[in-house]
Amino acid sequence: MKIRKDKLYTLSFFLSPMLIIVVLFYLIPLVLTVYISFTGMKNWNIERYMHDFVGFYNYQRLFHMFKYDPTFKAVVLTTIVFVGITLIINVFGGLGLALATFFMSERPGNIYRLLWLLPRMSPIAVYSLVWYYFFHGSEIGTLNSILLKLGLISEPIPFGQIIPWGAWSIIIFVNGLVGVSFGMIVFTSALNQIPKEIVIAARVDGASGWQISKRILFPMMKWHFLYVLTWQFLSLLTTYPHLFLLVEWDLVNRDYGTTLALYVFNTAFGRGEQEQGLAAAAAVILSILGIIGGVITLKVLEFEKMIKKPRGEIE
């Protein structure tokens, strides 16, 4: 399809701010990351290692570590379980919350939404510290102390050290509580776009809340669902700050509290010698996994079908 010159100018004008942002904040860092992954960069010494080309050494080293590390199996399993279950919680939890608050009157609905946003608004360290003391595996842990006082247990339970599900439950719970608000916001905004008249008309016809959701609301929110699913998948695949603290503070078992993203972070940045070259190689691999996962999600949910050409004249 040929685009007329003046049309091209108009398009460039409107697209340029976004293109500049993409180039500045995505493309350049991506190119830099790929470049650094082929250097022996360490200890942030850019001046010294920027031109120290090592070829595929960092990739080879990573694969060797993945292949022979006795705890790597736990890391892979943790990544699959963590991303899978947290994704379900984040997407369906967000959807559930948005629907629940949609059917509420406006004031209590807003209050509930605000409450669910609190974990996202709290500083990560403070938020993690709360759950550190809540789930601590001794009598100083809030949960253990409550259970002990109620006489339900006689010995404190080391929740985060029960492998694998104890550790997994905590990391999924803590991250799910933060992530669920993202879906809630997007779905709430989607619901607010749906004309109220349709819902009122269905109500008048005697449709239940579930029927309204299933027949009217869900089909109209498919686009948002896809967006939240893909976004949260990519985000969970690379997330590590909460996990880092919970593992660092020994609340959860190190092997079953570590996802691939955290494994990469700890391997590259968490030791006395910080290796940016290795980190970059790992980041490139994670990006590739993310892209593959993202494309699969879009295919499964038939993204192409949702992008339809307008029925009217384009020109």
Partner 1 sequence: MKHKAVFLLVVLISGVLASGCIGGETKETQASKKVQLTGDFAKDVIKIGKVLEENGISEVKFSAWGSGDPNSVMRVYGIVDAAYKINKIWKENGISVKITVTVKYDQSFNDQYKEFLSKQPLGQAGDFFVNSYAFLSTLAEEGYILDITDYAQAYQSVINDFYPTLLDASKYNGRLYGLPQDTEARPFYVRKDVAQCVGLDVSQLPEKVKNGEFTWSDVYYWAKQAKEKGCAEWGLIHRKGSAHPDLIQFIFAFNGKLYDENTGKLVLDVPAVYKWLYVEWKFARDGLLPEDIMSWDWAKQIHPTIVEGKTLFDIGGTWYWTEWQTKQYYKGRSLTPEEVKEWFAYTLFPAGEKGAKPVTLSQPFIWMINSKAGQLNPKYEELKDVYQALAFLMIIKASDPKINAIHSVISAHLPVRKAAAELIKDDQWLNNLKALNLDLAPEVKENIKDIVESTVNPINAQFLADVSYMLQYTHFAPSHPKYPALADIFKDAVDKVLRGEMTPEEGVNYIISKINADPELKDNIEIVGEIPKDWKFPRGD
Given the rule CB under 8 A, which residues bind partner 1? 43-48, 60-61, 64-65, 67-72, 136-138, 140, 158, 160-161, 249-251, 254, 269, 271-274
CB closer to partner 1, 33 vs 274: 274
CB of 244 to partner 1, least distance (A): 12
Q: How far is the CB of 186 from partner 1 (least distance, A)?
A: 35
Please write down the long-range contacts of 273-277, taking CB distance under 8 Å and 24 or more positions apart: 273/42, 273/43, 274/42, 274/43, 274/44, 275/41, 275/42, 276/36, 276/41, 276/42, 276/44, 277/36, 277/37, 277/38, 277/39, 277/40, 277/41, 277/42, 277/49, 277/54, 277/58
The C-alpha angle 80, 81, 82, rounded to 5 degrees, equals 95
Closer of 142 and 189 to partner 1 (Cβ): 142
Q: Under a CB-based contact definition with an 8 Å cutoff, are residues 103 and 207 in contact?
A: no
189 closest CA partner among 108, 97, 88, 120: 97
Closest to partner 1 by CB, 190 or 278: 278
Q: Please say whether the beta carbons of 229 and 111 come within 8 A.
A: no
Query: Among residues 41 and 99, whose Cβ is nearest to partner 1?
Result: 41
Q: Which of 178, 183, 169 is nearest to 252 (CA)?
A: 169
Q: Fill in the amino acid letter for 73.
A: K
Q: Give me the torsion for CA of 151, 152, 153, 158, rounded to 10°.
A: -130
Please report how close the Cβ of residue 1 comes to partner 1 at its closest, in angstroms: 48
**Closer CB to partner 1, 241 or 294, in the complex:** 241
Q: How far is the CB of 205 from partner 1 (least distance, A)?
A: 58
Distance, in Å, from the CA atom of 296 to the CA atom of 290, rounded to the nearest integer, reads 10
Q: Hey, is 297 helix, strand or coil?
A: helix
| Shortest Å, Cβ 171 to partner 1 | 15
Q: How far is the CB of 176 from partner 1 (least distance, A)?
A: 23
Minimum distance, C-beta of residue 254 to partner 1, in the bound complex (Å): 6
- State how far the Cα of 101 lies from the Cα of 190, in Å rounded to an integer: 13
CB 219 within 8 A of CB 74: no
Please tell me the distance from the alpha carbon of residue 110 to that of residue 245, in angstroms, as a whole number. 31
**Least distance to partner 1 from the beta carbon of 135, Å?**
11
Compare residues 9 and 44 and give the one whose CB is closer to partner 1: 44
The residue among 178 and 281 lying less far from partner 1, judged by its C-beta, is 281
What tokens appear for 295 in the block?
């494309």
**Cβ distance to partner 1 smaller for residue 69 or 302:** 69
Please name the amino acid found at residue 139.
Answer: E
Positive or negative, the CA dihedral 58, 64, 70, 72 is positive
Residue nearer to partner 1 on the CB measure, 271 or 309:
271
CB of 144 to partner 1, least distance (A): 12
